Amino acid sequence: MTEILQSRSEFWQKRWNNMAKQSGHFATMGRSNYSISDYFAYISDLVKGLGNVSPEDTLLDAAGGCGYLSLYFSPLVKEIDLFDYSTEAIKRAKEECKNFNNINAYEDNLLSLNVTKSKNKQYDKILVGGALQYFDSYDELSLILKNIYDVTKRQGRVFVSQTTDLSLKDAHIASYERLDWSNEDKQNAIKEELNHRFWVDYEKLKKIALQLGFSECHKMPINKQIFQSTHMFDFYLIK
């Protein structure tokens, strides 16, 4: 089991560094199959999940990759701190966001938030885009949520998008058998789902969040237009 967990961490670190070098913007987000309509359906989910935003809000774009969500929110909020653990992603984010004076991009990790905490800020809104599936255990998710809690303003709102849903895992993996792919491609895809993604029980996650001090935790459906709706869920937290 230890070998699987170590390979998962190494797998995603390498994957996201490579993705950040892709020419396609959606590919850098791990959404290479998205149409522009899919992307704005995703944006719509984010705005709803954050409970809308205001020009006075300070936003934390946690695990924000190359910064394309920060670019969208830039004219809508006062300030954005954007971080990712991928060196290549942040290198690209700094280039992509250089003309947006209210976006500050830097390296950090959800498991520590050392750099973010050193800023001594409390954020009105926090966005965590699809990151929980890349960790290894509920202990790690608890640590992540505790770190997020520490930097959330009282009554602030945290939105976590596209988390793998344990209750949909078996059906999702079985769906690969219906694809017109080679057996090798199917087996490689199934192996990735089993070994490199952490599938989350929402009720267990909610219990952890409330025990940490969040006053509310609510599950939200993903727009049916988006492929991730078949096997993932969104949720938001209120401090």
DSSP H or E run through 208: helix 202-212
Residue 7 CA to residue 11 CA, distance in Å, equals: 6
**Gyration radius (Cα) of the chain, Å:** 17
- Looking at residue 33, its pLDDT comes to 72
Domains and CATH numbers, the chain: 2-238 (3.40.50.150)
The tens digit of pLDDT for each residue in 10-56 reads 666 666 566 656 655 655 665 657 788 988 899 999 999 999 899 99
Tell me the two tokens of residue 28.
Answer: 């850098």
Amino acid at 44: S
User: Which helix or strand (DSSP H or E) is residue 106 part of?
Assistant: strand 103-107
pLDDT in tens, 208-231: 999 999 999 999 999 999 989 999
Confidence band, pLDDT 50/70/90 cuts, at residue 189: confident
Q: Does residue 4 have a pLDDT over 50?
A: no
Distance (Å, whole) CA 70 – CA 106? 13
Which residue's structure tokens are 């290198």? Answer: 91
What integer is the mean pLDDT of 156-175? 94
- Mean pLDDT over 154-179 rounds to 93
pTM of the predicted model as reported, rounded to 2 decimal places:
0.88
Distances (CA, A) of 113 to 84, 143, 210, 232: 10, 10, 20, 25
| Percent of the chain clearing pLDDT 90 (strictly above) | 66
DSSP assignment letter at 73: H
Summary mean pLDDT of the chain: 88
DSSP per residue, 125-174 = EEEEES-GGGS--HHHHHHHHHHHHHTEEEEEEEEEEEEEBGGGHHHHHH
| pLDDT at 105 > cutoff 50 | yes
